[in-house]
């Protein structure tokens, strides 16, 4: 296998299927997040789970119940994220995919069964428990999909594949927005139960996928199952590679590159040596989950008539935003794409906040506020929402990949929990002023990315270790960094070819 061979020549139907079929789980995540935002404003749901106001003669949720419904679910996601790493290490990705599907189905049943057909018959606690259980599966999905993809896809288009997670997440959100709009005026229990019940489709599809996809070759290698690893890789690579022994050579190359890191390391190793910096990076490049409240935001700020329409437009823009991100991360790089994203996020959030302070807005100013919100979402999806998933799956050392990703996503859940709990109060008191908060978060993210995030595009997972060994400075040229990395890799010892003979270099590792 020549080093100059086109990376796309490595693509096979099974590689494409294995890379994308399990993103059905992210359809579930996107659908659940967006559908719940609509359910909170659904008259049928409010009539069953809300409170009746004698003075206004209307049914409504207070801020406390809205916060509890949204934020408590993230306890489940925290459990899912934090347990995903150890579960993957022990059982492998396929078993975890199957298990999370079963968990999801149980949660959905509990949600739908949480109310009868009459007014105020909703069992609030049961619905919350159902959401917590569904979000356990969401947490498992977030870690399992990205680590599986990063381990089976060649380095040259790893960014393209892993960032596509956000495309599927947004597709789920768009689907939910359409379903929400279809039932937005339904005052019966049927509307919100149909919206919730559609989620059954996603875990059933994941179960079907687990019987087809191969296990991760790197996971098999961590279990000293080298023959199985070669067999799994042969299903993902072109037939000619298997026939010529290239799959065996690739597995040997991975084993030699990993050396002491073939087997999984304990949790304490996350804070030792260069692993500490990587752990901090994965934790710090998390995301803010603001999509849950966009329907409520529009409703509470003078756009009630369009509260179910604007999220659909936003969903389309979010999907379109991921397409350039999938290309740019492997061409422009992870860091530069993120810096561009954070700059424009801050600009449009500050614009929204500034225009929102105007007392008597013209129609143009009101439209610009909506445009600013949507453009913020566009650039958020292009970088801040999608690339952290990629970084979390490729930055960690092989011995700690699942644990680091679990810790990073779990930390993200902590902040998502806090955000979802306080955001209803923020929207109620600050209104458009929330733009100052999220704009400032984008500025902080820009500074952190510039000073602390090294570029990893085009590097094999094993070679990314060298990036952290030689150190990173935003003021050092990329060429100088690459030169230092090459010297470091060269000093770690010779690698081997498919026959077991030692050789000085193995270019094909760059495509792993």
489-504 pLDDT, tens digit per residue, is 444 433 333 333 443 3
- Burial readout 314-331 (b: 16 or more C-beta within 10 A, e: otherwise): bbbbbbebbebbbebbbe
* pLDDT for the residue 304: 66
* pLDDT for the residue 146: 84
* pLDDT for the residue 495: 39
Classify the C-alpha dihedral 245-249-250-255 as positive or negative. Answer: positive
What radius of gyration do the chain's Cα atoms show? Answer: 24
* pLDDT for the residue 107: 95
Asked whether residue 385 carries a pLDDT value surpassing 70, the answer given is yes
**164-177 per-position pLDDT tens digit:** 888 888 888 888 88
Mean pLDDT of all residues belonging to the chain: 77
* pLDDT for the residue 277: 44
- Reading the block at residue 397, the tokens are 């050392």
- The domains found in the chain, sorted by start residue, are 12-213 (1.20.1250.20), 268-487 (1.20.1250.20)
**428-441 per-position pLDDT tens digit:** 777 778 788 888 88
- Reading the block at residue 303, the tokens are 């756009």
Confidence band for 19, pLDDT divided at 50, 70 and 90: confident
**249-295 per-position pLDDT tens digit:** 888 877 776 665 544 444 444 434 444 444 444 334 334 434 444 55
pTM of the predicted model as reported, rounded to 2 decimal places: 0.73
More confident residue, 167 or 122: 167
- Torsion angle, CA of 70/71/72/77, rounded to 10 degrees? 100
Asked whether residue 51 carries a pLDDT value surpassing 90, the answer given is no
């Amino acid at each position: 296998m020549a080093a100059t061979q086109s990376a796309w020549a490595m693509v096979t139907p099974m590689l494409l299927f294995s890379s994308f079929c399990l993103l059905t789980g992210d359809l579930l995540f996107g659908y659940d997040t967006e559908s719940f935002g609509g359910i909170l404003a659904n008259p049928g749901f409010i009539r069953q789970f809300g409170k009746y106001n004698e003075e206004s003669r209307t049914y409504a949720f207070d801020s406390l119940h809205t916060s509890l419904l949204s934020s408590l679910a993230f306890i489940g996601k925290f459990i899912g994220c934090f347990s995903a790493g150890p579960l993957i290490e022990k059982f492998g990705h396929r078993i975890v995919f199957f298990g999370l599907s079963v968990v999801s189905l149980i949660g959905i049943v509990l949600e739908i069964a949480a109310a009868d057909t009459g007014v105020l018959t909703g069992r609030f606690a049961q619905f919350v428990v159902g959401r917590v259980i569904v979000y356990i599966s969401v947490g498992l999905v977030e870690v399992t999909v990205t680590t599986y993809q990063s381990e089976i896809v060649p380095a040259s288009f790893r960014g393209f594949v892993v960032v596509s997670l956000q495309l599927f997440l947004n597709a789920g959100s768009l689907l939910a927005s359409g379903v929400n709009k279809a039932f937005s005026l339904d005052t019966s229990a049927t509307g919100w139960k149909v919206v919730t019940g559609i989620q059954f489709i996603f875990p059933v599809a994941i179960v079907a996928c687990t019987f087809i996809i191969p296990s991760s070759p790197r996971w098999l290698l961590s279990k000293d199952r080298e023959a199985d690893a070669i067999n799994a890789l042969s299903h993902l690579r072109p037939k000619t590679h298997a026939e010529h022994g290239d799959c065996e050579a690739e597995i040997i190359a991975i084993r030699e590159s990993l050396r002491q890191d073939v087997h999984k390391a304990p949790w304490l190793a996350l804070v030792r040596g260069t692993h500490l910096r990587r752990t901090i990076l994965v934790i710090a490049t998390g995301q803010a989950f603001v999509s849950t409240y966009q329907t409520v935001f529009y409703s509470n700020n003078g756009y009630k008539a369009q509260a179910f329409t604007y999220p659909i437009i936003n969903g389309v823009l979010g999907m379109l935003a991921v397409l350039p991100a999938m290309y740019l991360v492997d061409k422009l790089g992870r860091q530069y794409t993120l810096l561009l994203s954070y700059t424009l996020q801050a600009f449009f959030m500050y614009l929204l906040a500034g225009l929102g302070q105007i007392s008597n807005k013209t129609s143009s100013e009101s439209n610009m506020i909506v445009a600013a919100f949507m453009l913020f979402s566009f650039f958020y999806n292009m970088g801040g929402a999608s690339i952290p998933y990629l970084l979390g799956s490729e930055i960690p050392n092989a011995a700690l990949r699942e644990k680091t990703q679990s810790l990073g996503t779990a930390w993200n859940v902590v902040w998502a929990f806090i955000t979802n709990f306080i955001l209803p109060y923020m929207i109620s008191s600050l209104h458009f002023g929330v733009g100052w908060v999220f704009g400032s978060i984008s500025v902080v993210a820009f500074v952190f990315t510039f000073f602390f995030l090294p570029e990893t595009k085009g590097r094999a997972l094993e070679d990314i270790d060298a990036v952290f060994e030689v150190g990173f400075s935003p003021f050092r040229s990329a060429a100088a960094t690459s030169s230092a990395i090459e010297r470091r890799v060269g000093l770690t010892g010779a690698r081997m070819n498919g026959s077991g003979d030692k050789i000085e270099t193995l270019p094909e590792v760059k495509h792993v």
